[in-house]
Amino acid sequence: MCGIAGWVDYGRDLRTHEGTVRAMTQTMIRRGPDAGGVWLSERAAFGHRRLAVIDVDRGTQPMVVRDEDGGVRAAITYNGEVYNFRELRAELTALGHRFDTHSDTEVVLRAHLAWGAGAAERLNGMYAYAIWDARTEQVLLVRDRLGVKPLYYAPAPGRLLFGSEPKAVLANPLFHPELDAEGIAELFSVPTAPTPGHALYRGLYEVRPGHLVRFSRAGLHSARYWELPSAEHRDSPEQAVAHVRELLADAVGRQLISDVPLGLLLSGGLDSSALTALAVAPGAAATDKISTFSVGFPEDESPERLGAWNVADDEPYIREVVAELGTAHTSVAVTGGGLLAHRGAGLAARDRPGWGEPDTSLHVLFRGVREQVTVALSGDVADEVFGGYPYFHDCGGPLDEFPWLRDKGSPAELLRDDVAHLARPREYARERLREAIAEVPRLPGEHEFDRRKREISYLALTRWLPALLDRTDRMSMAVGLEVRVPFADHRLVEYLWNVPWRLKAEGGTPKALLRKAMSGLLPDLVLNRPKSGYPASSAPAYRRAVRDEVEELLRRDAPVFQLVDRAKVRRLLDDGAVLPGPRAAPHPTGGLEFLVAVNSWLSTYRVRIT
């Protein structure tokens, strides 16, 4: 896992801009603490920071393939893991390609030489990469199917800047951080339903999941190489259960491959426990006793209960799984003091206002995990593909807003009237919802009930999930930890996309199909456990600090009040009300933390509001 950066320019010689390319690359050092390098040519310049996981000694980047006369054929800067690289390597070897390393990076580069843009369709994994083809003088940006790994780009006439995170592009003096009306609406109205391709800053974009972007002298072109295939499900219930278990076991087995220490994140929930059970199954794990990790809170700072999003303490379930599966378990303490010490971690990692305490808490957890392992498997994505969230099961009435935002406030309520008039946050959210529903791959003749479930599944996979994956990537890579997500294996996602709801939630039981697939591998207590989300801290010191900081903002001419109505905030605080925040799950500090983050972002990043 790594951080990448680059610059393509048809109007200047980039060999004379090494300092800028190195500055862009250096912003990625936390993503890649092990090594770094740049590659310069007249029209293209690549930077790379490496977190060494596969072929530690030789898989350095940027990587180049040369002709027999020494000329460059192609260069790559690559972030991610391709789990079927060994099979692809064998196939490419049969085609006549010769390899100098055992890394998946070289496999991806030579796959491009063999199959061009079609190489992306052959990859199984999480990845974001750029390839400069010297033969055609064009660059290709590619992102994995679900968008597990990020990739941003800023196009301009004759020029393209890109990087794993916005900070890489921001380090180039040709790009200026600006926020326009659309960015304001994106930030304040849909913080948990980000618009695919939108990157908040004016002129900055994300490569959409399952897409590639080609940039040449002729300009920029974006194309989709993968989409969810809607088709009639023909397997019997028994076949579906067996196939899900087979696909998941294969995904876990592939993702256990690592040349550095590896472990699993274990919350005691069904999803992470299922991965752990499959990882310790005979023949799966590389070691006799695999490491597992969870988040823990002091007794006087016990987690908040957040309604349907967080309903039970994890600890009893974790103990049950550890006792049953025999893992070497570590509980990483997240204290109020720890949260206060790392409060700026979320903004520094995201380059935009985030979710506050959940970001910081996850950052602290990942710091503790990184002390023991470099790679960790996570149960993320299971709820999206199996339908585990409450909003899957309570979706009556018209679908006139994103299901997880129903009956919840948003930070847009705090906008100044003049700003809201320009940004139109409510209309913006509805337009984004209509766009998303119009994209759903339909199945002709589908029953109305199943059609609605398919729509909600699509919204979960393409609007809700990206926000979660982005959070996991940023908080983990900020400490140099690679987090893998077996439930994001595209073969599993494609299969489950067409499994009828009556099988996914048989008898009204959330994730009934996954529970059946894991039957016999997990204790009944865990197998039948209800969904409970990531816990939120109730540390009094942390709450006081956040409240005090907002009070301090209200006493001065803070940048946040270019956007937010000071009087609205003051009135809500005086009434003892909870300020609307950016998260779907309610929390007393959510809105307060958002205001502090927006203010810090505008100041620290010198964002100009246009």
SS (H, E, C) 160-180: EEEECCHHHHHCCCCCCCEEC
Q: Is residue 410 part of a domain?
A: no
Say whether 42 sits in a helix, a strand or coil: coil
Q: Is residue 370 part of a domain?
A: yes
Same domain? 159 vs 272? no
- Find residue 79's DSSP bridge partners: 128
State phi, psi for 82 to the nearest 5 degrees: -105, 115
Q: How far is 246 from 64, CA to CA, in rounded Å? A: 37
CB 88 within 8 A of CB 57: no
Q: Is residue 409 part of a domain?
A: no
Same domain? 174 vs 272? no
Q: Is residue 493 part of a domain?
A: yes
Q: Chain-centre distance of CA 173, in angstroms?
A: 27
Same domain? 522 vs 546? no
Domain limits at 345? Answer: 237-396+466-527
What pLDDT score was predicted for residue 473?
97
Biggest CA pair distance of the chain: 75
Please tell me the total count of domains within the chain: 3
What pLDDT score was predicted for residue 308?
53
State phi, psi for 377 to the nearest 5 degrees: -90, 140
Same domain? 6 vs 71? yes
Same domain? 117 vs 261? no
Q: How far is 35 from 30, CA to CA, in rounded Å? A: 11
State phi, psi for 565 to the nearest 5 degrees: -80, 110
Same domain? 261 vs 343? yes
Q: Is residue 133 part of a domain?
A: yes
Catalytic positions are: 2
Same domain? 154 vs 200? yes
- Find residue 222's DSSP bridge partners: 213
Q: Is residue 569 part of a domain?
A: yes
* Domain CATH for 379: 3.40.50.620
The answer, as to whether pTM is greater than 0.85, is yes
Q: What is the sign, positive or negative, of the torsion defined by CA atoms of 376, 274, 474, 119? A: positive
Same domain? 209 vs 300? no
Q: Is residue 447 part of a domain?
A: no
- How, if at all, do strands 375-377 and 262-265 pair? parallel
What pLDDT score was predicted for residue 44?
98
State in Å, rounded, how far the first CA of the chain is from the last one.
Answer: 36
What pLDDT score was predicted for residue 363?
96
**Across the chain, how many H-helices and E-strands are there?**
24, 19
Q: How far is 33 from 50, CA to CA, in rounded Å? A: 6
- Angle formed by the axes of helices 237-255 and 270-279, nearest 10°: 70
Chain position carrying tokens 């109205």? 189
What pLDDT score was predicted for residue 311?
54
Q: How far is 539 from 587, CA to CA, in rounded Å? A: 12
Q: Is residue 513 part of a domain?
A: yes
Same domain? 19 vs 113? yes
Omega of the bond prior to 62 within 30 degrees of 0, cis? yes
CB 104 within 8 A of CB 81: yes
Q: How far is 487 from 278, CA to CA, in rounded Å? A: 12
Q: How far is 132 from 141, CA to CA, in rounded Å? A: 9
CB 373 within 8 A of CB 263: yes
Give the residue among 150, 207, 151 at the shortest CA–CA distance from 469: 150
What pLDDT score was predicted for residue 583?
87
* Domain CATH for 104: 3.60.20.10
Where is the domain boundary, 177, 198, 224? 224
Same domain? 73 vs 170? yes
Same domain? 251 vs 129? no
What pLDDT score was predicted for residue 440?
97
Where is the domain boundary, 180, 201, 224? 224
pLDDT along the chain (610 residues), means of 10: 94 98 97 94 97 75 89 94 95 92 92 95 98 96 98 98 98 98 97 96 98 97 96 96 98 94 96 96 71 87 57 85 95 90 94 94 96 97 95 80 89 97 97 97 92 95 97 97 98 98 93 96 93 80 92 96 97 93 83 96 97
Same domain? 476 vs 587? no
